[in-house]
Amino acid sequence: MGIRRFRTCLPLVAGLMGMLMPVIPVMAQGGSDERASADRPWMNTSLSPDERADLVLKQMTLDEKIGLLHGTGMAHTPNWQTPLTYLSNGGAGMTVGVERLGIPNIYMSDAAYGVRSSGENGRYSTALPSNLGAASSWNTEAACEYGALIGRELRAQGYNMTLGGGVNLTREPRNGRTFEYMGEDPLLAGTMVGNLMKCEQAEHVIGDIKHYAINDQETGRNIVNAVISKKAMQETDLLAFHIGINIGNPAAVMCSYNRINGDYACENKYTLTDVLKGEWGFKGFVLSDWGGTHSTEKASAAGLDNEQPMDHYFGPKLKAAVDAGRVPMSEIDDHAHRVLRSMFLSGLVDYPIEKSVVDVERGLDTAQHIEEQSIVLLKNDKGILPLNASRVKSIAIIGGHADVGMISGGGSAQVDPPGGNAIMPPGQGATHWQEHIWFPTSPLKALKAALPGAKIEFNAGTDLSSAAALAKSSDIAIVFASQWLSEGMDLPSLSLPDNQNALIDAVAKANPRTIVVLETGTAVTMPWLGDVAGVVEAWYAGSRGHIALANVLTGEVNATGKLAMTFPKSEQDLPRPVIAPLTKEDEGQGNGAVNGPDHVASKYSVSYDEGVKVGYKWYEAEHKQPLFPFGFGLSYTTYSYSDLKTDSGQKIVSFTVKNTGKRAGAEVAEVYAQLPEAAGENFQRLVGWQRVDLGPGESKTVSVTVDPQMLSVFDEQSNGWQLLKGQYRILAGPSSAETPLKGTIEIK
């Protein structure tokens, strides 16, 4: 489909749908020079995006402006269609441009860990490791490659806007979208998503950070009221967005489904206007999550610029409100200006889409390379890993469909696997957005290829005694355990589902040389931890996950990832041991993307009383010992930390990290701070890190400049940030729970 087909069909469509089409959505083709002329002064690329937007805006009618402020339906979703939906290139949404002025349509696609809906559209996309996995690399260059790959594949498939860049903090680890986000720390999550966005947008797609904000659980996501103090919001979830926006300069922010302190996030003046556009000076546009718009005047005044995917509130109703004087023209101009300047900023106008073949090989390389850095080695007793090719004669591979593939995360993030779902008969692919999809990336095959001298056998793990028997007769047993997550649901618990704990128990009893490989989208509890020799967290591993995993298991590549979220011992240790269930009257309308105009107000709410104590801060403050702490990850080599120095004036922390082992590796050296007593914080915060490559015996000086914002507190009285005077304790080391180096920074 696309531009050419639309041109051919245009007279017919216009005839049939005349009253719906004040704007003709054809995208102008050709380079910017060719189109720059006296009557199109906005094509002058030496002007700023704001100047260019102003020049176009002056030429636009009210209908054309309003056309920029809403969607035109959602491909593949029968109840969200308009006569223009078929033009959307198969994506989740489209906003029509202004053809007569050379302003293109905005073609939006979901693209969390790769471009969505490629299967339905007969295309191909690379699946990267989950966002949480990539965050575990703590590597900003990897985040950049991640974003650039998605940007390239969006463009190749005919899109010019991503609906990606999830950065909701992991406040609730059972959240079904945890794998789409970047973990529990605002600095790590914000920095990673910012670098991802920066490089994605550089490919000439509009970057989008989502879901703003406090959309931290999926249960009742369309109705839940998140109750949270301004201080807690500012220092946690909002801070992650702010850091991401500062680094990545994304042209768009998607507001979320939930309510925040009473008002829906897409009509919340505090978060949209006061903070995002006011305090942070965000100049791009805010689009609603799909069906997340609930009003016309209120949403418009609060700072929503673009309704998706329909025009229920920002179409004819918005025009009527302007005509009746209920919405001032200045508000419409501001919304339209924001959309236009975003198009100029990200290059949509100057670089029209040209569809092309996705660079499959390059994508696979990138996916593998990032996954190799994302895998976290959690336990390695007596050096059971890496597998020694000359010593290991036989390996039992058990469970997790490891003979055919590895599991992926579902919902609107889902990337379609080439060849279909590996555990279904050929030809049967995903039919539902919450299908459990296994990529055809078989760890069994990858390990056989990596260890040709070993006898490697597979047991499905469905019969515990036969699995145990195979484990017993093998040198080593590797159990593959998976946990599936998706948008639109939360996990009932962090326990591995489907009897997998019993399987691991049985195998570990039969052979203590058991390694567990986890394919999970969030933390899991591990009642069997003491009985197994090794644990490897592979996350949702992407299109080349099996090869990356085999490389780490065999030591071809050293393990370097570190957890971007805490793994608790039990749900009892979480701020909320259970997620409050929906009330009877709310059941059935809380979780899907289905919040229609007629939705009745709900009383369902969640109080985020833990406030600023998200993730590791909570465990430390509450004296709860986690199973694995934030920032933790082992390596096949060892490192030592020494010589911490601080420069209070410049806020620089420097120290030496040495590779004391025999293998090359990369160490993520982490720096934390404990604020002066006046801050009232009985926990440390991450204030910086550096990922350093070190050869055997090599030492390097790590130097981290701490951003004063990371040492500041939000003061509700003065509605601003304060850098308190006093002594700041500085701690550095390999994880949040191990910080051998101590020093101070003094703020006078």
Chain positions contacting ligand BGC, by CB under 6 A = 92, 110, 163, 210, 289-290, 412, 487, 593
Specify whether the CB–CB gap between 187 and 688 falls below 8 A. Answer: yes
Question: Which of 163, 479 has the CB closer to ligand BGC?
Answer: 163
Question: Which of 408, 684 has the CB closer to ligand BGC?
Answer: 408
> From the CB of residue 612, how many other CB atoms can be counted at a distance below 10 Å?
25
In whole angstroms, the minimum distance from the beta carbon of 485 to ligand BGC comes to 14
In whole angstroms, the minimum distance from the beta carbon of 487 to ligand BGC comes to 6
Half-sphere exposure (Cβ direction) of 372: Cα atoms closer than 13 Å = 19
Question: Which of 149, 265 has the CB closer to ligand BGC?
Answer: 265
- Burial degree of 717 (CB within 10 A; 0-12, 13-18, 19+): exposed
Question: Which of 214, 704 has the CB closer to ligand BGC?
Answer: 214
Beta bridge partners of 724: none
In b/e form, how buried is each residue of 664-673, taking b as 16+ CB within 10 angstroms? ebbbbbbbbb
Specify whether the CB–CB gap between 633 and 651 falls below 8 A. Answer: no
In whole angstroms, the minimum distance from the beta carbon of 88 to ligand BGC comes to 12
Q: What amino acid occupies position 312?
A: H
Determine the distance from the C-alpha atom of residue 694 to the mean position of all C-alpha atoms in its chain, rounded to a whole number: 29
In whole angstroms, the minimum distance from the beta carbon of 146 to ligand BGC comes to 17
Question: Which of 412, 602 has the CB closer to ligand BGC?
Answer: 412
Question: Which of 516, 593 has the CB closer to ligand BGC?
Answer: 593
Question: Which of 77, 495 has the CB closer to ligand BGC?
Answer: 77
Helix (H) or strand (E) holding 522: none
| Pairwise CA distance, residues 628 & 516, whole Å | 15
| Pairwise CA distance, residues 748 & 745, whole Å | 10
| Pairwise CA distance, residues 642 & 174, whole Å | 38
Number of residue whose CB is nearest ligand BGC: 593
Specify whether the CB–CB gap between 308 and 108 falls below 8 A. Answer: yes
| Pairwise CA distance, residues 613 & 511, whole Å | 40
In whole angstroms, the minimum distance from the beta carbon of 109 to ligand BGC comes to 9
Beta bridge partners of 627: none
3-state secondary structure of 650: coil
| Pairwise CA distance, residues 648 & 220, whole Å | 46
Q: Tokens for 134, please give them.
A: 């990539």
Determine the distance from the C-alpha atom of residue 625 to the mean position of all C-alpha atoms in its chain, rounded to a whole number: 27
| Pairwise CA distance, residues 566 & 605, whole Å | 25
In whole angstroms, the minimum distance from the beta carbon of 491 to ligand BGC comes to 17
Residue 482 φ/ψ region, left for φ over 0, alpha for ψ in the -120 to 50 degree band, beta for the rest: beta
Half-sphere exposure (Cβ direction) of 138: Cα atoms closer than 13 Å = 31
In whole angstroms, the minimum distance from the beta carbon of 287 to ligand BGC comes to 9
- Burial degree of 37 (CB within 10 A; 0-12, 13-18, 19+): exposed
Q: What amino acid occupies position 285?
A: F
Residues across the chain: 748
Q: Scanning the structure block, which residue is given the tokens 């990850």?
A: 633
Question: Which of 25, 91 has the CB closer to ligand BGC?
Answer: 91
| Pairwise CA distance, residues 549 & 448, whole Å | 12
> From the CB of residue 298, how many other CB atoms can be counted at a distance below 10 Å?
16
Find the DSSP H helices in 202-323: 230-235, 237-248, 269, 297-302, 316-323
In whole angstroms, the minimum distance from the beta carbon of 208 to ligand BGC comes to 8
In whole angstroms, the minimum distance from the beta carbon of 6 to ligand BGC comes to 22
- Burial degree of 684 (CB within 10 A; 0-12, 13-18, 19+): buried
| Pairwise CA distance, residues 194 & 199, whole Å | 9
| Pairwise CA distance, residues 271 & 262, whole Å | 12
Question: Which of 88, 296 has the CB closer to ligand BGC?
Answer: 88
Question: Which of 412, 483 has the CB closer to ligand BGC?
Answer: 412
In whole angstroms, the minimum distance from the beta carbon of 29 to ligand BGC comes to 27
| Pairwise CA distance, residues 416 & 421, whole Å | 8
In whole angstroms, the minimum distance from the beta carbon of 414 to ligand BGC comes to 10
In whole angstroms, the minimum distance from the beta carbon of 183 to ligand BGC comes to 18
Question: Which of 412, 511 has the CB closer to ligand BGC?
Answer: 412
Specify whether the CB–CB gap between 119 and 429 falls below 8 A. Answer: yes
Beta bridge partners of 480: 517
Candidates 361, 49, 349; CA nearest to 205 is 349
In whole angstroms, the minimum distance from the beta carbon of 410 to ligand BGC comes to 12
Q: Scanning the structure block, which residue is given the tokens 């029209």?
A: 352
In whole angstroms, the minimum distance from the beta carbon of 63 to ligand BGC comes to 26
Half-sphere exposure (Cβ direction) of 571: Cα atoms closer than 13 Å = 15
Helix (H) or strand (E) holding 689: strand 685-694
In whole angstroms, the minimum distance from the beta carbon of 618 to ligand BGC comes to 26
In whole angstroms, the minimum distance from the beta carbon of 221 to ligand BGC comes to 8
Question: Which of 252, 508 has the CB closer to ligand BGC?
Answer: 252
Question: Which of 6, 212 has the CB closer to ligand BGC?
Answer: 212
Question: Which of 437, 668 has the CB closer to ligand BGC?
Answer: 437
Specify whether the CB–CB gap between 257 and 222 falls below 8 A. Answer: yes
| Pairwise CA distance, residues 724 & 73, whole Å | 50
Question: Which of 486, 558 has the CB closer to ligand BGC?
Answer: 486
Question: Which of 71, 631 has the CB closer to ligand BGC?
Answer: 71
In whole angstroms, the minimum distance from the beta carbon of 166 to ligand BGC comes to 7
Question: Which of 487, 620 has the CB closer to ligand BGC?
Answer: 487
In whole angstroms, the minimum distance from the beta carbon of 159 to ligand BGC comes to 13
Question: Which of 222, 736 has the CB closer to ligand BGC?
Answer: 222
